[in-house]
Every structure is written in C-alpha cells, then in structure tokens.
C-alpha cells in the first residue's frame, strides 16, 4: 500500500467560495489525506459563503470518505488583485463588502497566517482563482484594461503568492495552480485575455519552479484541467458546450469530475511527488493529446 499521507501538513487554498469548483475539491482531497485547511475567499463572496457554512447548507459536501467532515481552520478574505492594502483604491477599501474585512491583500493574508500559526505555517499553497471581466469578448475586441486585469488576477497573482508565501513554507513545501488548455491552443469563446493569462501562468510555473526551488526549496506545479461547469465557469457563457465537446473528443469518453482534479492535486502536493516541479499536469481525460475531432461516440460508448 502506498498511501498519500499529509498528516501534520497545513494547506492554504485560495479561491474557495462554494462547494462547486476545483478549489473546494482540492481542499477536500487534501483534507482526506490528513491536511488541515485554510482558505482564501474573495471578499464580495465571503458573507454568502460563511452563511452557507453556518446554516449547514454545505454539510453533505463537507463529509469526508474517511469519516468526519472538512472543517476550515480559517477563512481569510483575499482579493488577489492587490499585493498590499496600500494598492487598494479608496472606493474599494471603503465599500460595504470590503471595509470590515481588514487587510485582504496578498501580503495581508500572509501576515494573518503568521499571526495565527507562527513564522512558517504552511506546507501547501493552492492558487485556484481567476477573473477576466471581458471573458465573453473575443481577444481582438478586448480592452487594454480588461486584458491586463485578466493577466493580473489570473497569472501575476501566482507570482505574488510564491514571493510572499514562499518564506512561510516549511521544508518540502509545494505551490500548485490551475490552468487550461486555452493557454496552448485557440478556444473560441474563451476570450478577454484569459487565454493569455493561462499561457503566462504556465510559463511562470517553469520559471518559478527554478527560482523558488533555489530560494525557498519548494516545488511549483500547475494542473491543466478539462472544462468543468462550476458556478464560476458559468461566466464564460459557453461552458456547457466546452464540456460536451471535450467529453466527445477525448480518449476517455467520460464526465470529468472535480474530484479527479482534487486527487491529482493531493498527489502533487504529497511527498510522493517530491521530484516533480515545473510541470503542467493534464487532468482532462486525455483531451490534450488529440490533434483533430473524433467521430461521434457510438451508442455503446460509456456516458
């Protein structure tokens, strides 16, 4: 037996605001392996997330296969568009959804983790967040502000994560992010600079793996997940079509589950993957290997 054992490890998973996406699935898989979990949640979504937890609306989703339930050690407000609180415009900082949250910047969350758990509180950091305000626009029609905003939140924030959180990591630490094949190939309908952001995220993963490996002794990887109809992905507008197309044209004609990504993440964040860094790991039923569309699945094909 070769178990994934993360007992005694602490993970910070950024980008969890409900139970429907990859971030939640990764948090749950890490907890199944024994890790304690802290999450970072976008301040405008935080009140709803906290209410769902308090009222038991997510109780079923929180149940662990090994018994018990996933319980978050801390839920921190995090807006990855800002490195420090000084970077936040006054109108944002004083708005109703932000003003009572304290320091929600990347540096602010780093400081809170240290205050709560000591100078080296983390073993695992997961970047499971992205935002492109113009994602429904073709790239050619995307504004400069929309493009730079997508790259800032969806890619540069991972650079900031590694820089800020790197010094808080214990020996053998691991960073993990989530990318998508649009960073390598044209995906019509996935616009607004998001394809550029994913390409940057993958390139940065390779460079950060070298730099953070030498500076902090940690690993940096990314998972290229197939399309998944989470609540957040609904903003794309064509997510259901993307899911169908990939299912019908992948070597494995099956529905991609969030748990597939969670399980791969648990492996990559474990000592079993101690020699894996700078990698883009595909969890997409093999879709990335295809060079042309397949014939339609037959009636005998699995659902």
The answer to whether the beta carbons of residues 118 and 167 sit under 8 Å apart is no
Residues carrying an active site annotation: 180, 190
**Cα three-residue angle 146-133-259, rounded to 5 degrees:** 125
- Residue-level length of the chain: 303
Backbone angles phi, psi at 127, to 5 degrees: -100, 100
Burial class (CB in 10 A: 0-12, 13-18, 19+), 139: middle
Strand order in the sheet with 219-225: 72-77, 36-41, 10-14, 122-127, 169-179, 219-225, 280-283
Would you list the DSSP string of 192-204?
Answer: TTHHHHHHHHHHH
**Assigned token pair, 272:** 């079993």
């Amino acid at each position: 037996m070769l178990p994934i054992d993360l007992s005694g490890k602490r993970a910070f998973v950024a980008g969890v605001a409900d139970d429907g996406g990859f971030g939640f699935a990764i948090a749950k898989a890490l907890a199944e392996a024994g890790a304690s979990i802290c999450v970072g949640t976008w301040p405008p979504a935080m009140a709803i997330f906290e209410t769902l937890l308090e009222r038991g609306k997510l109780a079923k989703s929180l149940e662990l296969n090994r018994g018990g339930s996933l319980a978050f050690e801390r839920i921190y407000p995090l807006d990855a568009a800002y490195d420090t609180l000084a970077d936040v415009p006054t109108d944002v900082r004083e708005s109703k959804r932000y003003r009572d949250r304290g320091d929600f910047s990347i540096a602010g969350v780093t400081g809170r983790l240290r205050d709560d758990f000591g100078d080296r509180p983390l073993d695992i950091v997961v970047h499971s967040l992205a935002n492109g305000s113009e994602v429904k626009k073709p790239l050619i029609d995307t504004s400069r502000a929309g493009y730079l905003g997508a790259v800032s939140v969806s890619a540069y924030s991972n650079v900031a994560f590694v820089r800020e959180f790197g010094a808080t990591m214990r020996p053998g630490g691991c960073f993990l992010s989530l990318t998508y094949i649009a960073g390598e190939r044209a995906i019509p309908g996935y616009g607004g600079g998001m394809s550029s952001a994913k390409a940057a995220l993958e390139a940065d993963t390779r460079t950060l793996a070298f730099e953070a490996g030498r500076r902090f002794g940690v690993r940096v990887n990314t998972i290229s997940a197939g399309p998944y109809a989470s609540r957040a992905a609904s903003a794309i507008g064509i997510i259901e079509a993307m899911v169908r197309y990939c299912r019908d044209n992948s070597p494995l004609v099956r529905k991609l589950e969030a748990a597939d990504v969670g399980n791969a993440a648990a492996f990559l964040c474990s000592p079993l993957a101690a020699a894996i860094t700078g990698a883009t790991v595909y969890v997409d039923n093999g879709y990335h290997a295809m060079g042309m569309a397949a014939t339609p699945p037959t009636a005998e094909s699995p659902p």
